[in-house]
Chains A and B, each alone.
Chain A
Amino acid sequence: MTPAVSVSDLRKTYKTGTVALRGVSLEVAQGDFFALLGPNGAGKTTIIGILCGLTVKTGGEAKIFDASIDTDPVKAKSYIGLVPQEFNINIFEKVIDIIVDQAGFYGIPRAEAIKKAEPILKDLGLWEKRNEPSQQLSGGMKRRLMIARALIHKPQLLILDEPTAGVDVELRRSMWGFLRKMNAEGTTIILTTHYLEEAEQLCRTVAVINKGEIVLSEPMTTLLQRYGGEEKLEDIYLGLIGAEKEEVKTA
Chain B
Amino acid sequence: MMRREFVRIIRIWSQTLLPPVVTTSLYFVVFGTFIGSQLPPIHGFSYIQFIVPGLIMMGVITSAYSNTVSTFYFAKWMRTIDEILVSPTPDWVVITGFVSGGVLRGLLVGILVLIVSLFFTHFQIVNALVLIAALILTSVLFSFAGLINGIYAKGFDGISIVPTFVLTPLTYLGGIFYSIEQFPQFWQNVSLANPILYMVNAFRYGFLGISDVPLWICFSVLIGFNLVCTFVAVYLFKKGIGLKN
- Residues of A at under 8 Å CB distance from B? 14, 46, 49, 52-56, 73-75, 77-78, 80, 82, 84, 86, 88-91, 97, 101-102, 104-106, 110, 149
Residues of A within 8 A of B161 (CB): none
**B240 contacts A by Cβ under 8 Å:** yes
**B84 contacts A by Cβ under 8 Å:** yes
Q: Say whether A74 contacts B88, CB under 8 Å.
A: yes
Stretch of B75-83, B107-115, B152-160 contacting A (4+ beta carbons < 8 Å): B75-83
Residues of B within 8 A of A78 (CB): 88
Return 24 A-B CB contacts under 8 Å, by A number.
A46-B245, A53-B86, A53-B244, A54-B82, A56-B245, A73-B88, A74-B88, A74-B90, A77-B86, A77-B88, A78-B88, A82-B82, A84-B82, A86-B79, A88-B78, A88-B79, A88-B82, A89-B80, A104-B1, A105-B83, A105-B89, A106-B87, A110-B3, A149-B83
**B85 contacts A by Cβ under 8 Å:** yes
Q: Say whether A91 contacts B78, CB under 8 Å.
A: yes
Given contacts A86-B79, A91-B78, contact A105 B245 (CB under 8 A): no
> Roughly how many angstroms separate A240 CA and B80 CA in the complex, as a whole number?
36
The majority secondary structure among interface residues of chain B is loop
Residues of B within 8 A of A104 (CB): 1
Given contacts A89-B80, A91-B78, contact A52 B1 (CB under 8 A): no
| Nearest A residue to B87, CB-CB | A105
Residues of B within 8 A of A84 (CB): 79, 82
Interface size on B, residues (CB 8 A): 18
Interface members, chain B 47-86 (any A CB < 8 Å): 78-80, 82-86
**B4 contacts A by Cβ under 8 Å:** yes
The 4 A-B residue pairs whose C-beta atoms are closest, nearest first, are A105-B87, A88-B79, A55-B245, A77-B88
> Roughly how many angstroms separate A49 CA and B80 CA in the complex, as a whole number?
14
- Residues of B at under 8 Å CB distance from A? 1, 3-4, 78-80, 82-90, 240, 244-245
Residues of A within 8 A of B240 (CB): 56
Which single member of B79, B83, B90 contacts A102 (CB below 8 Å)? B83
- Excluding A54-B82, A55-B244, A56-B240, 7 further A-B contacts by CB distance (< 8 Å) are A49-B245, A54-B85, A80-B86, A88-B79, A89-B80, A105-B83, A110-B3
Residues of A within 8 A of B3 (CB): 110
Which single member of A46, A74, A105 contacts B84 (CB below 8 Å)? A105
Residues of B within 8 A of A105 (CB): 83-84, 87-89
Q: Say whether B245 contacts A54, CB under 8 Å.
A: yes
Tell me, rounded to whole Å, the shortest Cβ–Cβ distance linking B151 to chain A: 15
> Roughly how many angstroms separate A102 CA and B82 CA in the complex, as a whole number?
11
Residues of B within 8 A of A73 (CB): 88
| Nearest B residue to A46, CB-CB | B245
> Roughly how many angstroms separate A149 CA and B86 CA in the complex, as a whole number?
12
Q: Say whether A88 contacts B88, CB under 8 Å.
A: no
Q: Say whether A90 contacts B245, CB under 8 Å.
A: no
> Roughly how many angstroms separate A129 CA and B145 CA in the complex, as a whole number?
38
> Roughly how many angstroms separate A78 CA and B90 CA in the complex, as a whole number?
11
Tell me, rounded to whole Å, the shortest Cβ–Cβ distance linking B238 to chain A: 11
Given contacts A77-B87, A105-B84, contact A14 B79 (CB under 8 A): no
Residues of B within 8 A of A14 (CB): 245
Tell me, rounded to whole Å, the shortest Cβ–Cβ distance linking A223 to chain B: 31
> Roughly how many angstroms separate A88 CA and B75 CA in the complex, as a whole number?
9
Q: Say whether B244 contacts A75, CB under 8 Å.
A: no
> Roughly how many angstroms separate A75 CA and B240 CA in the complex, as a whole number?
18
Tell me, rounded to whole Å, the shortest Cβ–Cβ distance linking A147 to chain B: 13
Tell me, rounded to whole Å, the shortest Cβ–Cβ distance linking B14 to chain A: 15
> Roughly how many angstroms separate A54 CA and B242 CA in the complex, as a whole number?
11
Q: Say whether A106 contacts B83, CB under 8 Å.
A: no
Tell me, rounded to whole Å, the shortest Cβ–Cβ distance linking A52 to chain B: 5
| Nearest A residue to B90, CB-CB | A74
| Nearest B residue to A103, CB-CB | B87
> Roughly how many angstroms separate A78 CA and B78 CA in the complex, as a whole number?
23
| Nearest B residue to A81, CB-CB | B86
> Roughly how many angstroms separate A89 CA and B78 CA in the complex, as a whole number?
7
| Nearest A residue to B93, CB-CB | A105
Residues of B within 8 A of A90 (CB): 78, 80
Q: Say whether A54 contacts B86, CB under 8 Å.
A: yes
